[in-house]
Copies of this chain bind each other. A is one copy, B any other.
Amino acid sequence: MENFTFYSPTFFAFGKDTENEAGAYVKQFGGSKVLIHYGGSSAKKSGLLDRVKSSLEKEGVGYVELGGVMPNPRSGLVYKGIELCRQEKVDFILAVGGGSVIDSSKAIAVGVPYDGDFWDFYSGKTIEKALPVGTVLTIAAAGSEGSGDSVITKEEGMLKRGAGSNLIRPKFSILNPALTQTLPPYQTAAGITDIMAHLYERYLTNTKEVEVTDRMIEALLLTLKHEGPRVIADPDNYEARANIMWAGMIAHNNSCGVGRSQDWSSHDIEHELSALYDCAHGAGLAVTMPAVFRYTMEHDVMRFAQVAVRVWGVEMDFAHPEVTALEGIRAFQSFLIGLGMPKNFAELGAKEEDIPQLVKTLCYGNGRTGSIGGFTTLKEEDCTKIYQMMV
């Protein structure tokens, strides 16, 4: 195991009706004037926004609102949010929504106290200051509720890039699984896929002897394998929703990713797709991961065999571990398709003729110098082949 530090100071309030405590937590964590940041109309229609506002009013906490966060959140709204916060002297950002809303909130939080362009932090600059952020989560997916990460898309050139710092870990996150019961099945499935991707990205390591984190990752994958189909079949299943929601947080607060090299090439390859086609991140990952896994499998066949046996229930072929490994990848892809996820470029709305452009942005965008990948190094020609496998 490699040396590491781990710090996850977010306070979690989990369960039914917990959104009514939002005001009390904002106050507890030092907020007096809040920006309520949210997405589309569902938070309004469901009455969630009203409940959150009531809880703020009850505690005497002031607020302004900014809705309109889109999936794959854009820099334009971030600039708007920063301006609004400065005008209104906001001292706390409250995200009411999913990963996109939370990531947009984190971007605003770093932008407000910074004189320059917030995009600097999404181009490699170290975050040194940020307003505190709290969240009321409405979809189990990104894990942004417990992480110090944020991903934003810049409209110019549709660049999708990330920033990270313990300073943008939420001070508190409110997780009420019941809020996810009204999600369309496709979004629920995309969320589950995203969580599984966070686990696989950590599983694909070159660090030896990391039994504890291997086992934890497998435990969470097993949970999603069990609960995913249950929740698609029965969207009102609170217990399945609850298990998925806690798994989503643990999967990405890095408690099961510590001390080991990680991959993240599936995420990088997918980010180009959701940036260009505006598809759901999880849906893009459902198409990307099986291709990446098949392409990189030879790098460590036994690792893929291990997850095939321990998670996907494949019987070990001791004479031909590569058969077991491949069967595990197949089982994973079948599982995703069974949840309702796409399996190729056509279903995703992506186009083969864009591959050269995708590869160029992927391998040379954001200061990269021709390759990506943590598990294996993927150069232009590798990425081209992987995109072609997805067609």
- Whether the Cβ atoms of A12 and B6 lie closer than 8 Å is yes
- Residue A115 interfacial (CB < 8 Å): no
Among A11, A18, A246, A250, chain B packs the most CB atoms within 10 A around the CB of: A246
Interface size class of A (residues with CB under 8 A): 35 or more
Say which residue of B6, B16, B219, B258 sits within 8 Å of A3 (CB atoms).
Answer: B16
Nearest CB in chain B: distance from A255 CB, A: 7
Nearest CB in chain B: distance from A274 CB, A: 27
A214-252 interface bits toward B, Cβ cutoff 8 Å, 1 = contact, 0 = none:
011011101100110000000000011011101100100
- Residue A309 interfacial (CB < 8 Å): no
- Residue A14 interfacial (CB < 8 Å): yes
Which residues of A (5-21) have their CB < 8 Å from a CB of B? Answer: 5-16, 18
- Whether the Cβ atoms of B1 and A5 lie closer than 8 Å is no
The residue in chain B whose Cβ has the minimal distance to the Cβ of A221 is B215
Q: A211-B227, A246-B259, A250-B255 are in contact. Are A14 and B3 (CB under 8 A)?
A: yes
- Residue A156 interfacial (CB < 8 Å): no
CA distance A177 to B209 in the complex (A): 14
Q: A219-B218, A258-B14 are in contact. Are A247 and B212 (CB under 8 A)?
A: yes
Q: Please indicate the chain B residues that have their CB under 8 angstroms from the CB of A13 in the complex.
A: 5
Q: Please indicate the chain B residues that have their CB under 8 angstroms from the CB of A14 in the complex.
A: 1, 3-6, 258-259
- Whether the Cβ atoms of B3 and A11 lie closer than 8 Å is no
Q: Please indicate the chain B residues that have their CB under 8 angstroms from the CB of A3 in the complex.
A: 14-16, 18
Q: Please give the count of copies of this chain that the complex contains.
A: 2
Q: Please indicate the chain B residues that have their CB under 8 angstroms from the CB of A1 in the complex.
A: 14-15, 177, 239, 242-243, 246
Q: A215-B223, A219-B215 are in contact. Are A210 and B243 (CB under 8 A)?
A: yes
A167-179 interface bits toward B, Cβ cutoff 8 Å, 1 = contact, 0 = none:
0000000000100
Known: A7-B10, A208-B239, A212-B223. 11 other contacts (CB 8 A): A1-B14, A1-B15, A1-B242, A3-B18, A4-B14, A6-B14, A8-B8, A211-B223, A211-B226, A212-B219, A212-B243
A-B contact pairs, 21 of them (CB 8 A): A1-B14, A1-B242, A3-B14, A4-B15, A5-B13, A6-B12, A7-B9, A7-B10, A7-B11, A7-B12, A8-B9, A14-B259, A209-B240, A209-B242, A211-B223, A212-B219, A212-B243, A212-B246, A215-B223, A218-B219, A246-B259
